[in-house]
Structure 1
Amino acid sequence: MNAPGEHNLAVLAERAFERLGDYESLFFEGKWLTSAEIHERSVRVAGGLRAHGVRPGDRVVVLTSNTPEVFISYRAIWRAGAVATPVIFLQSPPELRHILSDSGATAAIISPELAGLFRGAADGLGITTFVIGENYAELEAGEPAGIEPRGDDDLAALLYTGGTTGRAKGVMLSHRGLWESGRGIDRATRTTTATRALLPLPLSHAYGLIVAIGEWHADRRHVFVLQRWFDPAGWVEMVAEHRLETSPVVPAMLPVLLAQPRGDRDLSSLQYFGSGGATLPPAVRVAAEKAFGVTVLQGYGCTESSGVVSTETMPEHRAGSVGKAAPHVEVRILDLAGKPVPAGEDGEICARGPGVMLGYWNDPELTAQTVRDGWLHTGDIGHLDEDGFLYVVDRLKDLIIRGGFNVFPRDVEDVLLEHPAVQLAACVGRPDAEHGEEVVAVVQLAPGQRVSGAELVEFTRARLARYKYPRQVTVLDAVPLTSVGKINRKAVRDLVRAGGGDES
């Protein structure tokens, strides 16, 4: 039998356990799990998967809220040589049906609260199903399994993009790509002394997945406190109770945490936040650093890059940037003609390296459009400065063209977030007969705050160029977000074009 590849994720996990030993490593809902317990359960689950017919290369769906079984299942799936297919738990039945059918999954591991949703969506597909707390025990009763050989470029994970602009696409990620991205995260965290982290992110998203893999590269014992899902009141409580030092977040979480009452809870143990998944408005970064006494380290990546392109570190961080390219990544900025642009000039962010996806599942045409000559075309606009720091400006597809002038939604959103009453903001273009597109925005106010849309229009008018400021700002009870906390621009566009919300 051939040996596993050098970057096999199951080998990485096993070596981490051998190197760091047994200790209390994961706290979840009142109970500690040791690293030995997690390792031994994963070895048995791998054997259980094999006994139930899962073969190397088979796709195994993981549809759960955050639980310890997510960590265990990922390890077991890779140990069995199968392909982890994480699915965000906030899916509609048609979206889930598409993912299950498109992936050709043979098995699934699900939370009991999602069993009804899953069974309805999976009807007739013949997927062997294991429910945590129910027949998942059958997997744990399996004989301990060794590591199935898989090459560095073999498929390790199939992640489906959010589908906010169309049907979700399966992104194929290799063992080496995820291995290298995990090492990129670990190298950034090594510039801090923090070892105790709160995980509120869905582990079924690329960002959460890479944070978990990063632990296996660590030279120190790391302790994780896991939230089933993001609970801001619980977040404050857990940080204080367990003296936690860091927490990976997406930008939309920070305004919610800033508004959360703390009472007499001591959060002074916090050292830094890792922020990724979307651009972080400067006003939110400044407010978070001041309120929590932390440094916010930003990173940048996308599912198609195995989650990591660039990271900030404690020694190297610069206001407004998302850090320098990770060691395994090359970054260049191209104009619309595909030619490199000088430092400081905006263009499309492109990345090359082992983290670039193997391709889109069952879609070679879209793969060829997105990855050209080994370079991933991210669809994001940004620039590099003279020192190699990367700055993300906006999504190319979100660009608003008003009367021939380019308007980046983020420029408008950053100004709106400077207003003390605004908690979240989203800017989009609305079709307009005179200007082609008109700049409009929606906002969500901080608790207890009141301000009218007209007042916010005047606020931005005084701070933005004439062609940039929004002609309409609509106050919403809640700005639409995706299941991973990003602004759902498709939903915002649909809303403003339908005239929803309150402009008063």
Structure 2
Amino acid sequence: MNLAALGEENVRTWGEYVSLHFEGREFTNREQQRAANRAANALARLGVGPGDRVVVMLPNCPEVLQAYAAILKLGAVVVPVIFLLSPEEVCHILADAGAKVAITSPELQDKLGSFPGATVLVGGAGPGARAWDELVAREADTRAIVDRADDDVAVILYTSGTTGRPKGVALSHDNLAANARAAASLYELDRREWALMVLPLSHSYGLTVMNAGHVLGTRGVLLRWFNPGLVLETIQRFRVQSMSAVPTMLVYLLHAPDAGRFDTSSMRLWGSGAAPLPVEIVEPFERKFGGRILEGYGLTEAAPVVAAHRLSGVRKLGSVGQPIPGVAVAILDDDDRALPAGEVGEVGVRGRNVMRGYYGLPEETARALRNGWLHTGDMGKLDADGFLYIVERKKDLIIRGGFNIYPREVEEVLYAHPKVAEAAVVGVRDPLMGEDVLAFVALRPGAAATEDELIGFCQARLAKYKCPKQVRFVDALPKNPVGKILRKELRALAT
């Protein structure tokens, strides 16, 4: 099967209806399919065919949805890229994926560097690039979907790896379709009412919300990016009933100025995922805005949803719910044996949603996929009712506002500074972002540097959200007898 079939099935199942609203414009599901067909025909003229990788780096807009569908219709592979990444990170992804075409905007084109493939720009023109509007305008609005095997790769999502370089998570057509259908089966709201789409469509969470919407025949108001005031205004205007978010967004909304003047009484469901939800915000948030916050759990390698709460079911605060249909979860010991309820171990996941592997990284894949389980690296426990609790995220991983930051990636940049002798990065609790980045730095003998200097050095080389918020200078980093940095001691110093 081809994941693009979900969009065409949507039209056949539900008929033509207004499925999308974006910045004053409305689109029917059939119009979106026709636009995707024109885009597919245009990309085919650029030589895109089955298996080719196409990067899409844009903020949320209808063209993102059209581009994804177009690429998939051709049997090619979608490579979504978060537009917040630095040029160095973007260039690595382009090269690692072997991208044939990059679709972006004039404002972001410089991040492509000396990309040798074809560049297509949405919303304007640029040097050496083709304009999206001109390419698609002259194409026919029909296109047959190229058939693909269930396990053929449909999407490669890049996530920071332990090597400090982004690594591609290869997800198949069946991975994503199965996860979308399973997530959709939990939906208990009126499909004719509006849902708010504010998650980045370049994020695995946003992708699944989009795919589940095809299955359900729902209607979405799409925002270019998150803005608390605009979110509340949109909820009031469209009588929105549901929104999926990361916890940081919910914190921003809770503390938004004049939030009380907006009518959010239509809201029934606030989905929360991609990072741990601070339990302490749930009661004041629901009292202020109405509806229920339901937390779930997932990871890109699981396409991504693993566990969730049901709106009509029991909610256990602190839990991320129960495994969704078709997904098995076990708590594993160091020998991959399942532990009984209440005991803490590594969360293992099994099901059709589990990735094909890390693109071009067989050794990394073998480490993650062992003995029939996806090893998440997250520590958790199951209770007697099968509810999953994440006790500790990946030991060194920092999750800032729903975005994953691996310390080594930041540390390697700090080590590149000529005045730095040693560096280590840890996460510190932040009431707004969930976690933020704290760097411990030991300078070279006789060297002098300021906090602003090192933060600025990082900002020139990394996405801003990955950069340290604070830098603490120390004489030396704590180490064990074999020279390994003791992060546990650094975390203790950070509190």
TM above 0.5, one fold? yes
Show CA shifts across 1:317-367 (max 9, x none): 322211111112111001233222110111100001111110101110010
Aligned twin of 2:372:
374
Q: CA deviation at 1:255?
A: 1.0
Aligned twin of 2:300:
303
Task: Name the SS of the counterpart of 1:145 in structure 2.
Answer: coil
| Residues 1:241 and 1:87: Cα distance change in structure 2 (over 3 Å) | same
| Residues 1:94 and 1:77: Cα distance change in structure 2 (over 3 Å) | same
Aligned twin of 2:32:
38
Tell whether the 8 Å contact from 1:45 to 1:141 is kept in structure 2 after alignment: no
Aligned twin of 2:486:
none
Q: CA deviation at 1:193?
A: 6.8
Give 2:88's match in structure 1, choosing from 71, 77, 94.
Answer: 94
Quote the Cα distance in structure 2 between the aligned partners of 1:356 and 1:159. 13
Q: Are residues 1:132 and 2:122 paired? A: yes
Tell whether the 8 Å contact from 2:323 to 2:329 is kept in structure 1 after alignment: yes
Q: Are residues 1:273 and 2:267 paired? A: no
Show CA shifts across 1:354-396 (max 9, x none): 1111010111001000101231000001111111111111124
Task: Name the SS of the counterpart of 1:274 in structure 2.
Answer: strand
Aligned twin of 1:75:
69
What is the letter of the counterpart of residue 100 of structure 1? Answer: L
What is the letter of the counterpart of residue 272 of structure 1? Answer: L
Of 23-32 and 50-59, more deviation after overlay is shown by 23-32
Tell whether the 8 Å contact from 2:73 to 2:146 is kept in structure 1 after alignment: yes
Q: CA deviation at 1:442?
A: 5.1
Q: CA deviation at 1:397?
A: 1.6
Q: CA deviation at 1:445?
A: 7.3
Q: CA deviation at 1:444?
A: 5.3
| Residues 1:16 and 1:439: Cα distance change in structure 2 (over 3 Å) | closer
| Residues 1:444 and 1:284: Cα distance change in structure 2 (over 3 Å) | closer
Q: Are residues 1:313 and 2:310 paired? A: yes
Q: CA deviation at 1:150?
A: 0.5
| Residues 1:333 and 1:176: Cα distance change in structure 2 (over 3 Å) | same
Give 1:286's match in structure 2, choosing from 283, 288, 298.
Answer: 283
Tell whether the 8 Å contact from 1:323 to 1:390 is kept in structure 2 after alignment: yes
Give 2:46's match in structure 1, choosing from 41, 52, 77.
Answer: 52
Q: How many residues align?
A: 419
Quote the Cα distance in structure 2 between the aligned partners of 1:330 and 1:73. 33
Aligned twin of 2:321:
323
Tell whether the 8 Å contact from 1:278 to 1:486 is kept in structure 2 after alignment: no
Task: Name the SS of the counterpart of 2:43 in structure 1.
Answer: helix
Q: Are residues 1:66 and 2:54 paired? A: no
Task: Name the SS of the counterpart of 1:102 in structure 2.
Answer: helix
> What is the RMSD computed on CA atoms of the aligned residues?
3.0
| Residues 1:244 and 1:33: Cα distance change in structure 2 (over 3 Å) | same
Quote the Cα distance in structure 2 between the aligned partners of 1:106 and 1:438. 36
Tell whether the 8 Å contact from 1:63 to 1:108 is kept in structure 2 after alignment: yes
Q: CA deviation at 1:287?
A: 2.5
Tell whether the 8 Å contact from 1:88 to 1:204 is kept in structure 2 after alignment: yes
Task: Name the SS of the counterpart of 2:334 in structure 1.
Answer: coil
Q: Are residues 1:240 and 2:240 paired? A: no
Q: CA deviation at 1:285?
A: 2.3
Of 337-346 and 157-166, more deviation after overlay is shown by 157-166
| Residues 1:178 and 1:442: Cα distance change in structure 2 (over 3 Å) | closer
Tell whether the 8 Å contact from 2:53 to 2:100 is kept in structure 1 after alignment: yes
Task: Name the SS of the counterpart of 1:393 in structure 2.
Answer: strand
Quote the Cα distance in structure 2 between the aligned partners of 1:9 and 1:179. 6
Tell whether the 8 Å contact from 2:264 to 2:290 is kept in structure 1 after alignment: no
Tell whether the 8 Å contact from 1:51 to 1:142 is kept in structure 2 after alignment: no
What is the letter of the counterpart of residue 117 of structure 2? Answer: I
Q: Are residues 1:223 and 2:199 paired? A: no
Quote the Cα distance in structure 1 between the aligned partners of 2:59 and 2:331. 37
Aligned twin of 1:337:
335
Tell whether the 8 Å contact from 1:248 to 1:273 is kept in structure 2 after alignment: yes
Aligned twin of 2:168:
170
| Residues 1:397 and 1:497: Cα distance change in structure 2 (over 3 Å) | farther
Give 1:196's match in structure 2, choosing from 194, 197, 208.
Answer: 194
Q: Are residues 1:183 and 2:191 paired? A: no
Tell whether the 8 Å contact from 2:44 to 2:74 is kept in structure 1 after alignment: yes
Aligned twin of 1:251:
247
Give 1:390's match in structure 2, choosing from 388, 391, 408.
Answer: 388
What is the letter of the counterpart of residue 276 of structure 2? Answer: T
Quote the Cα distance in structure 2 between the aligned partners of 1:204 and 1:340. 34
Quote the Cα distance in structure 1 between the aligned partners of 2:231 and 2:242. 11
Tell whether the 8 Å contact from 1:191 to 1:313 is kept in structure 2 after alignment: no
Q: Are residues 1:110 and 2:108 paired? A: no
Aligned twin of 2:21:
27
Aligned twin of 1:148:
146
Tell whether the 8 Å contact from 2:21 to 2:220 is kept in structure 1 after alignment: yes
Task: Name the SS of the counterpart of 1:398 in structure 2.
Answer: coil
Q: CA deviation at 1:111?
A: 2.2
Task: Name the SS of the counterpart of 1:333 in structure 2.
Answer: strand
Aligned twin of 2:207:
209
Quote the Cα distance in structure 1 between the aligned partners of 2:64 and 2:178. 21
Q: CA deviation at 1:262?
A: 2.3
Q: CA deviation at 1:194?
A: 7.6
| Residues 1:30 and 1:174: Cα distance change in structure 2 (over 3 Å) | same
Of 285-294 and 304-313, more deviation after overlay is shown by 285-294
Show CA shifts across 1:385-418 (max 9, x none): 111111111124239xxxxxxxxx99xx9xxxxx
Task: Name the SS of the counterpart of 2:377 in structure 1.
Answer: strand
Q: Are residues 1:495 and 2:471 paired? A: yes
- Taking only the aligned residue pairs, the percentage that are identical comes to 42
Quote the Cα distance in structure 1 between the aligned partners of 2:241 and 2:150. 34
Q: CA deviation at 1:441?
A: 3.9
| Residues 1:166 and 1:354: Cα distance change in structure 2 (over 3 Å) | same
Q: CA deviation at 1:309?
A: 0.8
Aligned twin of 1:402:
none
